[in-house]
Structure 1
Amino acid sequence: MRVLHAVTLHSPSHAFGGPVRVALNLAGGLRARGHEARLLALGEGFPDPWPTSVEGVPAKLFPARRILPLGFSGMTSPALLASAGRLVRDADVVHVHLARDLVTLPVALAALRAGKPLVLQTHGMVDPSGKLLAKVLDAVAVRRLLRGADAVLYLTPHEREALDAVVGGPLAGAVRLVNGTPAQAERPAPAGPPRILYSARLQARKRPVDFVDAAPAVLAVHPQAHFVVAGPDEGELGAVRVRVSELGLEGRFTVPGALSTAEVQAELRRAHVYVLPSVDEPFPMSVLEALSVGVPTVVTHSNGLASDIASAGAGRAVTPGPAGVAAAVLDLLDPGTNAKAGAAARELAAAAFSMDAVLDTLLSVYGKVLR
């Protein structure tokens, strides 16, 4: 089976975050099972020659052109748009990681026009919005695509409700598909001074400054602890650096910027605790990756994985803000608690979020849309 996975942007800094990680994990898993899966996306920041594959997945990347000052929504490629019809016709199934942008919407529309089996996966990126651009795109394309797709994949009941609200009624063809993560080798037993990791986009909703503000309470108990704030900047890097400086903690923080996949894995294997203090986070891949390595994880109650983590004992779910984060980190730095939570984290990742289980569900969806 030939499957085309279309996502907005791939870059060395992983600026687009989770949807690209999900697309690569799914495409790689499909290829491991003998299917021909490919990636289609804009590209940005690559040195010449541009890659023709990403992590073993054949990829067609088109240079991104920013035509509107709207972040990812304002990026496109005339060459990609001109090629979309041919690319979707070459696929048996077109799987679009849909956002309100000028890449995934045109590709999905091309698949709909060509009569190709179309699977949409929205990653929490399509929800009711009062913004003018969102209203225009919903009227022109989004509702038509959600109603016309053969299947729409959602992560959580909250996302399903949001999609129903966008289309104005119950969405036909909706299927729940959780994110999965490939199995990873277990991290070594933590050694040395505590190392606490944040590895995600530096964006206001993800609250990296809360991570910084939690540090003094942790350092009061563990004065040699070290904190890592890693990820591409989306507006909060300056605030992070200013707050670290205001607290006089330059020697206790490392801010390395965007990390490669291999570098993220290396940091996870050194971490005692992983923290993602974001609010309204649908289903973060960075948390799944931490769990798969066996790193106890701190999230807020509005995180889509909070109840799973809390009930499994794989970390802690807290009220947003530095105080809750600090208390949870201190709890998880107890060696016995850390070891127990780390084992629970790996067990949770393997039992509930394995790629094998996700791929079984996805291939069932593909089989139905092909029929």
Structure 2
Amino acid sequence: MRVLHAVTLHSPSHAFGGPVRVALNLAEGLRERGHEARLLALGEGFPDPWPTSVEGVPAKLFPARRILPLGFSGMTSPALLASAGRLVRDADLVHVHLARDLVTLPVALAALRAGKPLVLQTHGMVDPSGKLLAKVLDAVAVRRLLRGADAVLYLTPHEREGLDAVVGGPLAGAVRLVNGTPAQEGRPAPTGPPRILYSARLQARKRPVDFVDAAPAVLAAHPDAEFVVAGPDEGELAAVRARVSQLGLDGRFTVPGALSTAEVLAELRRAHVYVLPSVDEPFPMSVLEALSVGVPTVVTHSNGLARDIASAGAGRAVTPGPAGVAEAVLALLDPAENAAASRAARELAAGSFSMDAVLDTLLPVYEKALR
């Protein structure tokens, strides 16, 4: 089976975050099971010559052009748009990681026009919105695609409710598909000063400043603790740096910027605790990666993985804000607590969020669409 995975943007800094990681994980898993899976996306920030594969997955990347001041939604490529019809015709099935943008919407529409089996996965990116542009895109394309797709994959009941609201009624062909993560080598038992890691986009909703503000309470009990704030900047880097300086903690914080996949895994294997203090996070891949390596994890209650983490004992779910984060980190720095949570994290990732489990759900969806 030839499957085309279309996603908005791939870059060395992983600026588009989780949807690209999901697309790559699914494509890699499909290829391991004998299928042909390819990636289609805009590209940005690559030196010449541009890559023709990403982590072993064949990829067609088109140079991104920013035509509107709307972040990722304002990016497109005339060459991609001109090639979309041919690219979808070359596939047996088209799997679009759908957002309200000028990449995934045109590719999905091209698949619909070509009569190709079409699977949409929205990653929480298509939700009810009062913004004028969202209303226009919903009227022109989004509702048509959601109703016309052979399947629409959603992460959480909350996301499903939002999709129903967008289309104005119960969505046919909706299937719950959780994110998965490939099996990883577990981290060694942590040694040295406590090392606390944040590795995600530096974006307001992800609250990296809460991570910084939790540090003084942790340092009061562990004066040698080290903190890492890694990830591409989406508007919060200046605030993070300013807050670190205001607290006089420049010597305790490392801010390395965007990391490659290998660098993220290396940081996770050094970390005592992983923290993602964001709110309304649907199903973060960074948390799944931390769990797969065996890093006890702190999330807020509105995180889509909060209940799983708390019930498994793989970390802590807390009320948003630095006080809850600090309290949870301190609890998980206890050696016995850390070791138990680390084992639970590995078991949770391998049992509930393995790529085999995800593909066992996805492949019957593909087969039904092909029929």
- Supply the distance in 1 between the matched residues of 2:27 and 2:259 (Cα, whole angstroms): 22
Post-superposition Cα deviations, 1:169-198, rounded to whole Å, max 9, x if no partner, equal 000000000000000001000000000000
- Supply the distance in 2 between the matched residues of 1:112 and 1:263 (Cα, whole angstroms): 39
Structure 1 residue 324: deviation in Å?
0.1
Post-superposition Cα deviations, 1:24-67, rounded to whole Å, max 9, x if no partner, equal 00000000100000000000000000000000000000000000
Post-superposition Cα deviations, 1:109-132, rounded to whole Å, max 9, x if no partner, equal 000000000000000000000001
Dislocated runs of 4+, deviation >3 Å: none
What TM-score results when the alignment is normalised by the length of structure 1?
A: 1.00
Aligned length: 371
Q: 3-state SS of the aligned residue for 1:347?
A: helix
Structure 1 residue 15: deviation in Å?
0.0
Post-superposition Cα deviations, 1:56-90, rounded to whole Å, max 9, x if no partner, equal 00000000000000000000000000000000000
Q: 3-state SS of the aligned residue for 2:185?
A: coil
- Supply the distance in 1 between the matched residues of 2:30 and 2:306 (Cα, whole angstroms): 28
Structure 1 residue 360: deviation in Å?
0.9
Structure 1 residue 101: deviation in Å?
0.1
* 2:63 paired with 1:63: yes
Post-superposition Cα deviations, 1:130-154, rounded to whole Å, max 9, x if no partner, equal 0010000000000000000000000
Post-superposition Cα deviations, 1:288-318, rounded to whole Å, max 9, x if no partner, equal 0000000000000000000000000000000
Residue 111 of structure 1: aligned partner: 111
- Supply the distance in 1 between the matched residues of 2:364 and 2:295 (Cα, whole angstroms): 32
Post-superposition Cα deviations, 1:333-356, rounded to whole Å, max 9, x if no partner, equal 000000000000000000000000
After superposition, where does 1:156-175 map in structure 2 within 5 Å?
156-175=156-175
Give 5+ residue unaligned stretches, structure 1: none
Residue 126 of structure 2: aligned partner: 126
Structure 1 residue 222: deviation in Å?
0.1
- Supply the distance in 1 between the matched residues of 2:324 and 2:35 (Cα, whole angstroms): 45
> Identity over aligned residues, as a percent?
92
- Supply the distance in 2 between the matched residues of 1:348 and 1:35 (Cα, whole angstroms): 27
Q: 3-state SS of the aligned residue for 2:162?
A: helix
- Supply the distance in 1 between the matched residues of 2:314 and 2:361 (Cα, whole angstroms): 25
Structure 1 residue 163: deviation in Å?
0.2
Post-superposition Cα deviations, 1:233-274, rounded to whole Å, max 9, x if no partner, equal 000000000000000000000000000000000000000000
Q: 3-state SS of the aligned residue for 1:212?
A: helix
Q: 3-state SS of the aligned residue for 2:68?
A: coil
* 2:244 paired with 1:244: yes
Residue 30 of structure 1: aligned partner: 30
Q: 3-state SS of the aligned residue for 1:251?
A: coil
- Supply the distance in 2 between the matched residues of 1:274 and 1:133 (Cα, whole angstroms): 36
Q: 3-state SS of the aligned residue for 2:251?
A: helix
Structure 1 residue 19: deviation in Å?
0.0
Structure 1 residue 4: deviation in Å?
0.1
After superposition, where does 1:1-371 map in structure 2 within 5 Å?
1-371=1-371
- Supply the distance in 2 between the matched residues of 1:319 and 1:360 (Cα, whole angstroms): 34
- Supply the distance in 1 between the matched residues of 2:191 and 2:306 (Cα, whole angstroms): 27
- Supply the distance in 2 between the matched residues of 1:131 and 1:256 (Cα, whole angstroms): 35
Give 5+ residue unaligned stretches, structure 2: none
- Supply the distance in 1 between the matched residues of 2:138 and 2:74 (Cα, whole angstroms): 16
Q: 3-state SS of the aligned residue for 1:250?
A: coil
- Supply the distance in 1 between the matched residues of 2:207 and 2:236 (Cα, whole angstroms): 8
- Supply the distance in 1 between the matched residues of 2:41 and 2:264 (Cα, whole angstroms): 22
- Supply the distance in 1 between the matched residues of 2:161 and 2:32 (Cα, whole angstroms): 34
